[in-house]
Amino acid sequence: MQVNEQAHQSNQGTRKPPFFFREEYAGYIVKGNFMTLAAKPHLVEEGEWMSHQIVEQNRNLSGMLKIVQEADRSTGLPICNEKTCPAMSAGSTTYSWMDTNRNPINLPAPTYVKHIQTWVAGKIFDDTLFPTLTFQTPPTLPNPQQVSSDPNHWLGKTSGFPQRFESEIKNMYKQMFRCYAHLYWSHWLDFWNLGAHRELNTCFVHFVNVGRIFGLLSDRDTEPMQPLIDLWIRKGDLPQSKENESAQASATASTPTAAGSAASTASTAPPSSGADGSSA
């Protein structure tokens, strides 16, 4: 952990991005199209696909967390412990936990992570949220026109998921993202030293890909890891977020035609995106 901190301080002193934001360290253990891996099969209802993804993504995350949770033989302590990680942080971002009275409290990272794991597992095994009963006959999947014309439609309705299902899985996904953000900012060098940084990248890019395709993560949620996400977007490994697509569509619609005056163009054209200062 001391080496980890020294490396980050050195990067900050030279204004270099952390190693995990650099393209040479952003590789994976597999080759292929992550968007195809995340795409919903045509004959699978979206609620069923989302429930599958939540369970699968939680399994992948648990495997990554286990690396920093197992006790080190030399110290008897896990890599992530209350001394090395007194707060649940990701760079300059610190995450607070809500107590039973809905008051924010700061917890050591290992305690926060354990709370998330227990909470997510409890949601997954709650059969009122993730129903397990099978249908006597398969439900008829509505077509897009039927979905858009049904004012009472919600994600997973056809397969028996409750109306709160979408908001619940978005909250679960946001909390799971925070675990990944902490792993990168506080433990990336531990993964590097163990030769596991590409495994971490592979699990994380798949996680983010699902989150972006199905709108489970907002740009605000992903801010601590945005430079790495932007790098993967430039490489074509991730799609633009729905928020960015909407913003770009609005900007395109407001851009004047060639017949407009130069002054009009200067005042209404969308600003170019500035460098985030984090790419290699």
Note the pLDDT of residue 259: 38
pLDDT tens digits along 200-236: 999 999 999 999 999 999 999 999 999 999 999 999 9
Does residue 185 lie within any of the structural domains?
Answer: yes
Task: Determine, yes or no, domain membership for 250.
Answer: no
- The closest alpha carbon to 156, from 254, 28, 11, 48, belongs to 48
Q: Band of the pLDDT at 154, cuts 50, 70, 90? A: confident
Q: Which residues are annotated as a binding site for Zn(2+)?
A: 80, 85, 182, 187
Identify whether 278 is part of a domain. no
**Residue 13 pLDDT > 60:** no
Q: Give tens-digit pLDDT for 60-110.
A: 999 999 999 999 888 899 999 999 999 999 999 999 999 889 999 999 999
Range of the domain at 8: 2-243
Read off the amino acid at residue 3: V
Is 275 inside any structural domain?
Answer: no
234 Cβ contact list (under 8 Å, min separation 6): none
Q: Could you tell me which residues are annotated as the binding site?
A: 80, 85, 182, 187
CATH code for the domain of 212: 1.20.140.30
**How confident is the model over 143-151, as a mean pLDDT?**
73
**pLDDT confidence of residue 3:** 45
Q: What is the pLDDT of residue 275?
A: 30
Q: What is the domain count for the chain?
A: 1
pLDDT at 107: 97
* Residues comprising the chain, all counted: 280
Q: How crowded is residue 60: how many other Cβ atoms within 10 Å of its Cβ? A: 18
Taking the model in full, what pTM does it have? 0.80
The structure tokens listed for 112 are 């926060």
Query: DSSP letter at 158?
Result: G
Do the domain assignments include residue 52?
yes
pLDDT digits (tens, 9 = 90+) for 17-33: 899 999 999 999 998 88
Q: CA–CA distance from 230 to each of 86, 194, 214, 236 (Å)?
A: 29, 26, 18, 10
- Rounded alpha-carbon distances, angstroms, from residue 184 to 90, 109, 195, 201: 8, 13, 14, 9
- Whether 258 is in a domain gets the answer no
The residue with greater pLDDT, 138 or 17, is 17
Indicate whether 272 belongs to any domain.
no
Whole-angstrom Cα Rg for the chain: 21
Q: In this structure, is residue 256 part of a structural domain?
A: no
